[in-house]
Structure 1
Amino acid sequence: MTQRLDRIDLLRAAAMLWMTAYHFCFDLNFFRLIREDFYRDPFWTWQRTAIVSLFLFTAGLSQAVALHQGQTWARFWRRWWLVAGAALLVTAGSLLVFPKSFIHFGVLHGIALMLIVVRLTAGWGAWLWPLGALAIGLTFVAPALILSVPALEVLNTPWLNGLGLISRKPVTEDYVPLLPWLGVMWWGVAAGRWAMSERPQWLGSSAPAQGGRRVLVQLGRWSLSYYLLHQPVLMGLIWLGIQLA
């Protein structure tokens, strides 16, 4: 049985609260209560990048801890199926709200694929640092490479969008492909494995937290459920507020 470390859950909770604030503003814009460009304005696009990066780095830390504590493949697959099933729910829900730009490869789809890759490569040690940099760097090279080699245009097709080697971003409300984001999770794994070996206290304790810290730790431990529910709740509350105004 693996044990959760509270500082990792606190990091995850911070990402979730930041995500909630971001999505609340996004939903206000969706209902035309504010006017912002969430797709091109750097103020919003860089926030999204930071939130996703924090989520994936934390996911990498968690995988490092799980492996250090001897997580079995059976337990891994039980968790993986929850993530994959949640990704399908996100696709179905977004198809109802955004039929022209539904989420076909968002953050949960990406995490499901990355978790398998990370599980298979976690033993590569310090190589994960340069591999992470390479995964991120390839996405900057891909557009020019595709333009110079016409046969690589196939990478822009929907069936291969999940790789992330594209020259045209697909029309979708959330897009978290394997590259560059696997690089961030690899860095999380590398950092986690180093910390468990050299500075385990940095990742916190498995002892019960107290007070407000306990609330945040619990929030971090129920991240998947929260992720699935927060947007329907936010949009429902805003819609209700509009009806009552």
Structure 2
Amino acid sequence: MTQRLDRIDLLRAAAMLWMTAYHFCFDLDFFGLIQQDFYRDPFWTWQRTAIVSLFLFTAGLSQAVALHQGQPLARFWRRWLQVAGAALLVTAGSLLVFPKSFIYFGVLHGIAVMLILARVTAGWGAWRWPLGALLIALPLVAPAAMAAWPTLDIFNARWLNWLGFISRKPITEDYVPLLPWLGVVWWGMAAGQWMLQHRPCWRGVGDGAATGARRSLVTLGRWSLSYYLLHQPVLMGLIWLATRVL
């Protein structure tokens, strides 16, 4: 049986709290209570990049630990089905709220695909560092490549833009394609495997004695998928209610 490591759950909880603060501000803008440009203002776009990076890096760390502990395929696929099902729920919910920019390949969709690729590439070891860097760099050259070879523009089509080799960002509320984000997952896996091999004390703790704020954060990190699905409906509902009452 695989064992959760508190330190990874703490990192995931930090990403979730940061995401909640970001989405709270986004929702305030959505209801017209503040005026911000979440799609172009670097203050917000860089925060989104950092939050997604932290989520996917911890996903890579988790996969490294799961592989190290010999996670059975049945357990892997059970978790994968939960992530994939949650991704479909996100698509359905976003169709209701944002019909013109619904989420068809957001963070959960990306994670569902990346989990499989992470499992398939489990034996690649330190090669994930340079290969991850390559995947992160490829989107930077896509616009120039498409300008030189116009036939490559086909990668901007919706049925291929989930790969991430694009020159035009699609109109969608959340977009986490394989490029560059699989590179971040691979870096997380490489870092996790290095730590497990060279810094075994980092395995830290699934320490039942921890109490207080730390234990609360660990619990939050362990229920990340449920929290992710529920936090936006709750936030939007509370803000909507406040606008009616106050």
* TM-score normalised by structure 2 residue count: 0.98
In the alignment, structure 1 residue 165 sits paired with structure 2 residue 160: no
In the alignment, structure 1 residue 227 sits paired with structure 2 residue 216: no
Residue by residue, what CA displacement relative to the aligned partner does 1:119-177 show, whole Å, maximum 9, x if unpaired?
11121111000000000000101111112111111101100011000011000000000
Indicate conservation of the 8 Å contact 1:27/1:234, yes or no: yes
**Which structure 2 residue ranges, 5 or more long, are not aligned?**
none
Report the AA paired with residue 76 of structure 1.
Answer: F
CA distance in 2 between counterparts of 1:230 and 1:3 reads 26
CA distance in 2 between counterparts of 1:200 and 1:24 reads 38
Equivalent residue pairs, number: 245
CA distance in 2 between counterparts of 1:108 and 1:229 reads 14
Report the AA paired with residue 216 of structure 1.
Answer: L
CA distance in 2 between counterparts of 1:201 and 1:179 reads 33
The RMSD of aligned alpha carbons is 0.7
CA distance in 2 between counterparts of 1:167 and 1:29 reads 28
113-122 or 89-98: bigger deviation:
113-122
CA distance in 1 between counterparts of 2:107 and 2:14 reads 17
Runs of 4+ in 1 over 6 A off after TM superposition: none
Give 1:189 shift: 0.1
Give 1:212 shift: 1.2
Percent of matched pairs sharing the same residue: 78
Report the AA paired with residue 224 of structure 2.
Answer: S
CA distance in 1 between counterparts of 2:16 and 2:231 reads 10
Residue by residue, what CA displacement relative to the aligned partner does 1:165-215 show, whole Å, maximum 9, x if unpaired?
001100000000000000000000000001111112224211212121110
Alignment of 1:92-131 (within 5 A): 92-131=92-131
CA distance in 1 between counterparts of 2:219 and 2:40 reads 34
Residue by residue, what CA displacement relative to the aligned partner does 1:33-88 show, whole Å, maximum 9, x if unpaired?
00000000000000000000000000000000000000011111100000000000
CA distance in 2 between counterparts of 1:196 and 1:53 reads 21
Indicate conservation of the 8 Å contact 1:12/1:55, yes or no: yes
* TM-score normalised by structure 1 residue count: 0.99
**Which structure 1 residue ranges, 5 or more long, are not aligned?**
none
Report the AA paired with residue 229 of structure 1.
Answer: L
CA distance in 2 between counterparts of 1:201 and 1:125 reads 20
CA distance in 2 between counterparts of 1:35 and 1:153 reads 34
